[in-house]
Amino acid sequence: MSKITAVVAGCGNRGKDAYGFYALSRPDNMKIVAIADPDPDKRRIMGELHSIPKHRRFSSWSELVQEGKIADAAIISTMDRDHVEPALSFIKAGYDLLLEKPIDPTPEGTMKVARLSAESEKRVMVAHVLRYSSFFQKLKHLIDSGRIGELVAIEHKENIGFFHFAHSYVRGNWRKTSESGPVILTKSCHDLDILYWLVGSPCRLLSSFGSLTYFRSTKQPANATDRCLEGCSVEGDCPYSARKIYMSGNTGWPVSTITTDLSEAGISRAIELGPYGRCVFKCDNDVADHQVVSMLFERDITVNFLLTGFTEDMTRTIRVFGTKGEIRGHFDKRELQVISFGEDREVITTSAPLMGSHGGADFQMMDAFVEMVSGSQNVSSLTTPEDSIESHMMAFAAEESRNTSKIIDMDEFRQRHMLFH
């Protein structure tokens, strides 16, 4: 693997703590040479971490791309509605590209990137990080090898975690569809991509149900205050209290996302004045807090997917059903139980890097990205925009079904949006 250079647009949680952390942890693989972010504190912190000279710290991605091609690759980790234009611009400027998911909150924007990627000679990877994890790689191998016979059905759950959901989807950046996108896309296009990849064929029919059931003003207790630090009388019984989530002594995620001043006073000030101190029943959120998607794939394979914010654990669990056995998986435990009918079960523990999020899969994806860009092993992208179209279309269709209570014919849906498949 040869070392590559990269520029990063977006120095938030993913830009700094995922891709930036990888570069610091594996300096022989990747060096970040320029950054862009509108927040001066984020620019300063990331610039200092990576010893980036001040003239290579830009306030916008457009200023950065105007410098021309100054690195091997560009990493786009801006907010969801600011993916398309930088992606198109950096590809046109000659960069290989890593693009955070989702590609875009609209079918039209998604297609723009996919079309340019297909036409360009540049290598583009969408950060569907789960495909690169040892856990799902092993699960894919077990299914494709026929270990449990012919694939019949899959049941998959994304357990978002109660405090994660409150942080990101009630108080945080992904709380409003108009500002980011529906939760089935912004959080779970990962999972729809994995299901499409595991099945190995397109979805034919899809239906979805879900709603914003709990985190709404009508659910606020009678004596609750609109902000958590205003002497709320029900705080002791509230698991979503900002004091409990952000003021327990932790300075890592999610606390590190609410302020760059991680002193006790800085955190307290952010909660007192900022959006993360609001009562979860008094926010301007509108994304669903639970949703189920039922899918029929080619070969009559049925798949059921549930996302929910009402879980203690923050992980993914999956069951795969075949004609000769089943597989039960727990992502955080890195454990796959393979049950062959009438025989003893085998427990497989998958390995992964100890560093990075998504069970170490961030580092596995970045290793693959470095190999792809460097061309050291003629590695191609496992998650091109062209291949990622399907998971995005499934998410868009699921949201349409949720809002209309209709079953969606995926062939008709793709044709309606003039998609190539």
Q: How many residues does the chain have?
A: 421
**Distance in angstroms (rounded) separating the CA atoms of residues 263 and 89:** 38
Average the pLDDT over 212-230 and give the result: 97
Residue 381 — pLDDT band, cuts 50, 70, 90?
confident
pLDDT score, position 246: 98
Q: pTM here?
A: 0.94
Of the candidate ranges 148-162, 270-284, 371-385, the one whose mean pLDDT is the lowest:
371-385
pLDDT of residue 377 exceeding 90, the answer is: no
- What domains can be seen in the chain, in order of their start residue? 4-127 (3.40.50.720), 131-215+286-359+382-416 (3.30.360.10), 222-277 (no CATH)
HSE-CB at 273 with a 13 A cutoff on CA atoms is: 7
C-alpha separations of 235 from 12, 224, 274, 392 in Å: 30, 8, 18, 39
57 pLDDT higher than 60:
yes
**d(C-alpha 246, C-alpha 260), whole Å:** 13
| Secondary structure of the chain as H, E, C letters | CCCEEEEEECCCHHHHHHHHHHHHHCCCCEEEEEEECCCHHHHHHHHHHCCCCHHHEECCHHHHHCCCCCCCEEEECCCHHHCHHHHHHHHHCCCEEEECCCCCCCHHHHHHHHHHHHHCCCCEEECCHHHHCHHHHHHHHHHHCCCCCCEEEEEEEEECCHHHHHHHHHCCCCCCCCCCCCHHHHCCHHHHHHHHHHHCCCEEEEEEEEECCCCCHHHCCCCCCCECCCCCCCHHHCCCCHHHHHCCCCCCCCHHHCCCCCCHHHHHHHHHHCHHHECCCCCCCCCCCEEEEEEEEHHHCEEEEEEECCCCCCEEEEEEEECCEEEEEECCCCEEEEEECCCCCEEEECCCCCCCCHHHHHHHHHHHHHHHHHCCCCCCCCCCHHHHHHHHHHHHHHHHHHHHCCCEEHHHHHHHCCCCC
Distances (CA, A) of 33 to 12, 44, 49, 287, 409: 17, 14, 11, 37, 46
Segment 250-273 mean pLDDT: 96
Q: Which residues lie below 8 Å from residue 265, measured CB to CB, with a gap of 6+?
A: none
Q: Return the pLDDT at 351.
A: 82
Q: Does residue 275 carry a pLDDT above 50?
A: yes
Does pLDDT of 59 surpass 50? yes
Predicted local confidence at residue 355, as pLDDT: 61
Q: Is 64 a residue whose pLDDT tops 90?
A: yes
pLDDT of residue 382: 83
Residue 356's pLDDT is what?
Answer: 58
The predicted-structure confidence for 85-128, as pLDDT tens digits, reads as follows: 999 999 999 999 999 999 999 999 999 999 999 999 999 999 99
Question: Which range, of 251-255, 376-380, 405-409, averages the lowest pLDDT?
Answer: 376-380
Residue 421, pLDDT score: 43
Confidence (pLDDT) at 12: 93
Question: Cβ distance 206 to 410 under 8 Å?
Answer: yes
pLDDT tens for 189-210 read: 999 999 999 999 999 999 999 9
